[in-house]
Structure 1
Amino acid sequence: MEEIYIPQDQRAALAAIDASDLNGVIDQAILEERSGSLHSIRLASCGPYVATRLEHFDRALAKHREAKAPKKRMETENTLRRAGYDLISAVEAMKQRMEKEQKEEQLFHVDGQIPPYHFSQRLTARVNYRWRKTVDDEWNHGHIVFIHDVDLTPDYRQPQPKRKPSVAKQQEDAQQKLSDTWTHLMMISLYSVRDYFREGRDGGDIPETYKATVDPHSRLLNNHSAQFWLR
């Protein structure tokens, strides 16, 4: 399941990188046509967003190293420098996100439950939270449970199997659908409570339960289904 906050190990890796020196390290990698210096500063440990940009840079560097003709070298160098810029931008974006989260965590924090072992058609996702108005106040604690009833009726608009699945296979498919839906419900619930606090709202006004709304057309959850304060 996606992390709503940057994990502590990734925060440590990001904090260890001097953004002002990163340009020089990338320029050195381009000049020397090898990226060992980049990997030595643990960019790959800064989370998937940065790691993906690092992979793009490595691939661009390999293509530039293989190029021989002057025209081709010019093309691959331009691509490589764009990849370097994207990598720098990714690190800067993650550092900004980390700083924002650390600042917010002085006033509020949200977290969710682990997935259950078995799912029923009535799904529940509990979000725990703590909040305070100023950093000098004591913490207040609370939770909200989001509820969603899943429709397991087969979608006859989709192609149906030629042979009817066994009862065991039907149960397995139902559990997979419920698991995927629960993960979605948990994530939109976490983001909903986080965004509620980001808007400066009072945690004391959060209800204990909320039945998630569904899209009026698809009858499925969407990114607005858990916005309990807008209903």
Structure 2
Amino acid sequence: MTYINLPSNQQAAISDMDETALRAAVRKCLDEERIGPIHGLGLSDCGPYVGTKLHEFQQAIAEYSKAKAHAKRERTRQDALRAGSDLVHAVQQMKGRLETERQEGELYFIEDQIRLPFYLSKRLSVPVSFRWRSSPSADWKYGHLTFVYDFSPQPSYTLPLPKRKPSAAQAARDLEDSLYREWERLKAQALFSMREFFRDGGDGDAVPEVFAVRPSPYGGGLNNFSCNFWQPERPAP
């Protein structure tokens, strides 16, 4: 799973998508009250965001085609028009994101394909590799930062108390699930923070090799600032 970089197959599909052809297909779907005209454009290859909007448009067209009463046809047509507009807008957004990634890729790249460790302990760590350069004509430099986080599981007060104490095996499985979810959260926060650092013009030479992640001073584990290694630590309230 990628977090901050579009996969190459999605990049190709988004780049190849013809907005004029898409708009024409959306109009034809509305005129013919069927989804056929939009098939073959490769929308399902453009990633989950576009895929969700495609599914919503398909459902809206289906509802419109089934409507019989005048009032319901008017309502479902408006719904289909809105869903078609949302689909076109989603493609435009992804094209914008792709262009941003390409521009940023001239100066830095953060590897977001990070494998889950074979064994997870309460000391979680996420290694992030990256490269950067001062200008598109400069040589690449390479770096590596490991985010380390001492995870302290907290009891959930929103769930009902179990009728009996869980077995040792169940407790171990519950801990493993908690560690996995927290590691995924840590990975996401680490990648987002690293991208924010470079987007704001950060110098790769200033990135440390190891950073001790800061839990939220308000409790609850990680927050949006926990992995911001370039910022001073926030005081506890």
Letter in 1 for 2:81: R
Q: Secondary structure at the match of 2:230?
A: helix
CA-to-partner distance for each residue in 1:70-93, whole Å, 9 max, x for gaps? Answer: 221111111100000100110000
For the residues of structure 2 that align with 1:193 and 1:57, how far apart are their CA atoms? 36
Percent of residue pairs bearing the same amino acid type: 38
Q: How many residues align?
A: 231
CA distance in 1, matches of 2:131, 2:85: 38
> How is 1:211-226 mapped onto 2 (pairs within 5 angstroms)?
211-226=212-227
Q: Provide the secondary structure at the position in 2 that maps to 1:109.
A: strand
User: Aligned partners of 1:178 and 1:220: how far apart in 2?
Assistant: 12
Whether 1:181 aligns to 2:182 is yes
Match of 1:136 in 2: 137
**Mapped partners of 2:142, 2:36: distance in 1:** 47
The equivalent residue for 1:40 is 40
Write the mapping of 1:1-12 to structure 2, written as runs, cut at 5 A: 1-12=1-12
Distance in 2 (CA, whole Å) between partners of 1:227 and 1:159 is 35
Q: Let me know the Cα RMSD of the aligned residues.
A: 1.4
Q: Distance in 2 between matches of 1:216 and 1:120?
A: 22
Q: Using the alignment, how far apart are the partners of 1:157 and 1:74 within structure 2?
A: 44
* 1:159 corresponding residue in structure 2: 160
Cα deviation for residue 21 of structure 1 reads 2.5
Q: Secondary structure at the match of 2:145?
A: strand
Distance (whole Å) between structure 1 residues aligned to residue 214 and residue 20 of structure 2: 46
Change (3 A) 1:170 1:88: same
Give the C-alpha shift of residue 189 in structure 1. Answer: 0.3
- Residues 57, 87 of structure 1: 8 Å contact kept: yes
Q: Which moved more, 1:214-223 or 1:65-74?
A: 214-223
What SS does structure 2 have at the residue aligned with 1:77? helix
Which position in structure 2 is the counterpart of 1:145? Answer: 146
Read off the aligned partner of 2:14 and give its amino acid letter.
L
Q: 1:153 Cα shift?
A: 5.3
Paired amino acid for 1:125: V
* Contact 1:2–1:187, Cα closer than 8 Å, also in 2: no
1:42 corresponds to which letter in structure 2? G
One-letter amino acid of the structure 2 residue matched with residue 61 of structure 1: I
3-state secondary structure, aligned to 1:229: coil
CA distance in 2, matches of 1:207, 1:12: 35
- Is 1:119 the counterpart of 2:116? The answer is no
Counterpart Cα distance in 2 of 1:153 and 1:30: 52
Q: Deviations over 1:118-168 (max 9, x none)?
A: 100100111100000111111000011111101135456753211111111
Q: 1:83 to 1:156 in 2, by over 3 A?
A: closer
CA distance in 1, matches of 2:135, 2:129: 19
The one-letter amino acid paired with 1:56 is: E
Letter in 1 for 2:164: R
Q: Which runs of 5+ in 2 are unaligned?
A: 233-237
Q: CA deviation at 1:19?
A: 1.3
Matched residue, 1:20:
20
The residue number in structure 2 matching 1:228 is 229
By how many angstroms is 1:22 displaced? Answer: 1.7
Amino acid at match of 1:4: I
Q: Secondary structure at the match of 1:148?
A: strand
TM-superposed deviation, 1:34: 1.4
| Equivalence for 2:58 | 58
